[in-house]
Structure formats: C-alpha cells, structure tokens
Structure 1
Amino acid sequence: MNFCTIRHGCKVLHANLGCFPGILEQAGHKKYWIQIVFLLSTDPSNVDLDKVANVIVDQSLKDSVFSKEAGRICYTIIQAESKQVGQSIFRRSLLNRLQQEYKDREDLRNRSLQAWICYVTFICNIFDYLKVNNMPMMALVNPVYDCLFRLAQHDSLQKEEEVDCLVLQLHRIGEQLEKMNSQRMDELFSLLRDGFLLQEGLSSLSQLLLLEIIEFRAADWKMTDAAQKYYYSEVTD
C-alpha cells in the first residue's frame, strides 16, 4: 500500500492512492482533495481518468492557488499512466478540455475574470510541465501565445489582475516560449511597450509590472540584483 500525505492547513490526510503514489502534495480545499483521492484510489483498471482530467480542470478554473500547482499533478498522473497503464487517456482528455476552454476563452473572460485568469495560469502551468522529448508541446505554443496576447490588449491592460497574470506567466515560461517562436514574442513585447508608453489610464502598479517584464526580457530573461531591489522595493512600498 502506498501513501501520500495531503496537507490542508495544519491537518494531514493520508489516502491510499493505489498505483498513483505521490500525485497529491498540497491541498487547497479538503472537499476537493477527497474527491480526487476517491477517483484515484480504486483499482488501476477501473480508474476513470477522463473524469479525473475534467475534475482537475474544473477545479483549476475555480481556484487560483490550485491552478498554479495543477501542472505538476497532471504531469505525475501522465507519467504514472504511461508506465503502469500503457495508455494516454488522461493526457488526451486533458488536452481536449484545454482546447475546448481555449475556443471559448472570450466567453470565459466575459463571464468571469477570475476564471479566465485561472485558465491562463493553468494552461501556462501545463505548458511548463508537459514535455515531449524534453521539449514543450508544440500543440500548446500558439494557444498559450494567444492567451498572453489577449492579456496584452488595451482593455486587459486596464485591469491589474490581468497585467499581473501576464507578467507572472512570462516570468515562468517566457524564455521557453521565445525559443519555440521568437517572432511571436517580439510581437507580444511590441504590444507591451506600446501599452506602457502610449496607453492612458494604466495604474502605477501596472506600469511598474510592464516596465519590469520589458527589462527582464531585455536582460535575457534574468533579473539583475539592482532590478530586483528596485522593483520589489517599489511593490512593497
């Protein structure tokens, strides 16, 4: 029997995960984690991996904290599925669901800004973790770029939440994305520079974040000590 410790605040929940040990490491909502544990704790041949994928996506769209960690969970499930089940049901279901939400991304944004930001965070997290021959999945490159381009539009730059999401994702996967398609990265940063220099109504925080990410890329996706001291002290102040 394999056990995985799931932390929820100061509480610890031990669950038998059958042939999928180590999948869950942290809990954001106890009720949700119990659901995932239930889905994964049955006999491997009876695990509904399509349902597991949909539950993870659903939760990622609701929970901003979980959306940042879901990529690692999905990666671990995919690895376990590949080695122990010999299929790719979970990965196929996950990518199909991501594609579905991608097609409806504008409706999602109009319906719930928080869900939209969670989706962008989630798909970027998946892009970061899922590799093919140690390279990011080509199928995710343009959808990720399209999401980031949407965050760089005039109306999105007016919202600090979207600017913050854009900058966070570029910090995480910007260098990887640029290696996959440098032309689109040039176009994206052209939008960001225009937004920073020309767009009226940007908050001081949004201006600071945009300037920071522009300088971050200019420094080959590295943060100099001087820049870190300046920007972090400004945000703190």
Structure 2
Amino acid sequence: MGETGKEEYKIQSFDAETQQLLKTALKDPSSVDLEKVANIIVDQSLKDCVFSKEAGRICYTIIQAESKQVGQSVFRRSLLNRLQQEYKDREELRTRSLKAWICYVTFICNIFDYLRVNNMPMMALVNPVYDCLFRLAQPDSLLKEEEVSTGALSPHLFSVPQVDCLVLQLHRIGEQLEKMNSQRMDELFFLLRDGFLLQEGLSSLSQLLLLEIIEFRAADWKMTEAAQKYYYSELTD
C-alpha cells in the first residue's frame, strides 16, 4: 500500500461524502475547499484521540500535494489559523472536555512532528506546544484522572490520561523540542521532578510514567534495554 493509500485507510471513520472530500484533497487539493478540509480534520481530531495521533501525516500529505500542484499554502494557513484559535481557547476547551483537551495536545504535537520549514520544525509551534505540555505537568493535571486512554507505554492505561499524554508526546517530540528551546525543556522537567518527588496523592502509575520519562531524557532521549524491560514489566504486572 502506498503512502496515499495509508492516508485513505485512516479516514474510514468519516461519512461517505467527507471521505470523498478528504481523498480528493490528498490527490487533487486545488479542486476542493481546503479551509473546509482543515476544519474537518481539526474537528475530528478534537473528538477522536486515535485520529489525532494520525492526522499529522494526512496534513503533511495534503500540504505537499498542494505545494506541488499550485505552489500555495491555503491548507497550511487554514490549519495553523485554526490551531491558533484553539490554542487561545485551550483553558475553556480543557474545562469543557478533558478528552477534547488531550486530543488537542496530541494533535498539535503531531502537527509539530510532521510540518517542516526548510527541513526544520516550525518555530511558530514551539511555544504553543511547550505551553500545552507545561499545562499537563501542573499538579492539578497530574492528579486528574478520568477514563480516557492515549497509550503512552501500554494500550491498557485508562486512569492517567493527562500524564499518559504528556509522556507520549515527550517520547515522540521531546528531543526535537529541546533542540528548539532547551531552557524551556529544563523548566518542564523541573516541574516533572517536583511532581514525581513532592506531589501527594499521585497514583503509582503516574509516578512510574514520570520516572520513566525523566530517565528517558537523562539517557539522551533513548530507552535502554534494561529500562525497557523494567518499565514494561511493571506496567503489565
């Protein structure tokens, strides 16, 4: 299956009309309303945590196709405008729906991972992504538990969604983020260490996840074989 085929596979959850719109956008972006396409992708990403983890590649494919076809960036501009709007309203979003908040963080980190300018991550996304991760590292987020899973280290973690989301994103983009702004990464990990060492009422799973990501960064963003065996055995026991 080719790359476009993979993207088409990921949009099967939409109704037939929307599926056709997205498939056309992937192949012939100049023939569709790309602002509408961007809004559809963002709206679905805020509802579906699984889709939010895959949407970055879809967006990247559309941006590449649009650039080759017409040399413009209508889709990227529309996507970033919508991301910016949701970023401004992030506390309201978080208050309204923890699931939507986690989906948004997953989505913006996914976009940061895929979108490039001159083969570098987009500077415009660095601070918004950091701000989202800092929010996940606050004491009230570390303690807030609800049955939403994002699957950082194990597919059956259901009770620590915000910690799980935070760790997953740091595994995925932490090294890139640190290269863009190492001072903010230091500050973020000060928070995580304080959370691990000082936060009362933290669940054992949350403590395990925090310890794992602290050690992961200390090992230069690599998982040693011994650490992998330890953490995965602890999560499956």
Per the normalisation by structure 2, the TM-score is 0.88
Task: Tell whether 2:69 aligns with 1:87.
Answer: no
Note the aligned Cα RMSD (angstroms): 1.9
1:68-125 Cα distance to aligned partner (Å, 9 max, x none) = 0000000000000000022100000000000000000000000000000000000000
Task: Tell whether 2:10 aligns with 1:27.
Answer: yes
- Runs of 4+ more than 6 Å apart: none
Task: Tell whether 2:41 aligns with 1:76.
Answer: no
Alpha carbons of 1:158 and 1:167: their partners in 2 closer, same or farther (altered >3 Å)?
Answer: same
Q: One-letter code of the match for 1:180?
A: M
Corresponding position of 2:45: 60
1:147-188 Cα distance to aligned partner (Å, 9 max, x none) = 000000010001311000000000000000000000000000
Identity %: 82
Corresponding position of 1:168: 168
User: Which residues of 2 match residues 193-204 of structure 1 at below 5 A?
Assistant: 193-204=193-204
* Larger of the two Rg values belongs to structure: 1
Deviation at 1:38, TM superposition (A): 2.7
Alpha carbons of 1:28 and 1:49: their partners in 2 closer, same or farther (altered >3 Å)?
Answer: closer
Could you tell me whether the CA contact under 8 Å between 2:137 and 2:192 is conserved in 1?
yes
Aligned-partner Cα distance in 1 for 2:194–2:112:
27
Corresponding position of 2:182: 182
Aligned residues: 220
Corresponding position of 1:47: 32
Alpha carbons of 1:44 and 1:180: their partners in 2 closer, same or farther (altered >3 Å)?
Answer: closer
User: Which residues of 2 match residues 147-162 of structure 1 at below 5 A?
Assistant: 147-159=132-144, 160-162=160-162
Aligned-partner Cα distance in 2 for 1:76–1:65:
18
Task: Tell whether 2:20 aligns with 1:37.
Answer: yes
Corresponding position of 2:211: 211
Corresponding position of 1:109: 94
Give the match's secondary structure for 1:60.
Answer: helix
Alpha carbons of 1:32 and 1:178: their partners in 2 closer, same or farther (altered >3 Å)?
Answer: farther
Deviation at 1:33, TM superposition (A): 6.5
Give the match's secondary structure for 1:30.
Answer: coil
Question: Which structure 2 residue ranges, 5 or more long, are not aligned?
Answer: 145-159
Aligned-partner Cα distance in 2 for 1:168–1:21:
26
Q: One-letter code of the match for 1:177?
A: L
Task: Tell whether 2:83 aligns with 1:98.
Answer: yes
Query: Once structures 1 and 2 are overlaid, which stretch shifts more, 172-181 or 45-54?
Result: 45-54
Write 1 or 2 for the structure with the bigger share of strand: 1
Could you tell me whether the CA contact under 8 Å between 1:23 and 1:77 is conserved in 2?
no
Aligned-partner Cα distance in 2 for 1:180–1:151:
20
Alpha carbons of 1:142 and 1:61: their partners in 2 closer, same or farther (altered >3 Å)?
Answer: same
Question: Which structure 1 residue ranges, 5 or more long, are not aligned?
Answer: 6-19
Could you tell me whether the CA contact under 8 Å between 2:21 and 2:32 is conserved in 1?
no
Deviation at 1:133, TM superposition (A): 1.0
Could you tell me whether the CA contact under 8 Å between 1:78 and 1:91 is conserved in 2?
yes
Q: One-letter code of the match for 2:205?
A: L
Deviation at 1:29, TM superposition (A): 4.8
Aligned-partner Cα distance in 2 for 1:93–1:86:
15
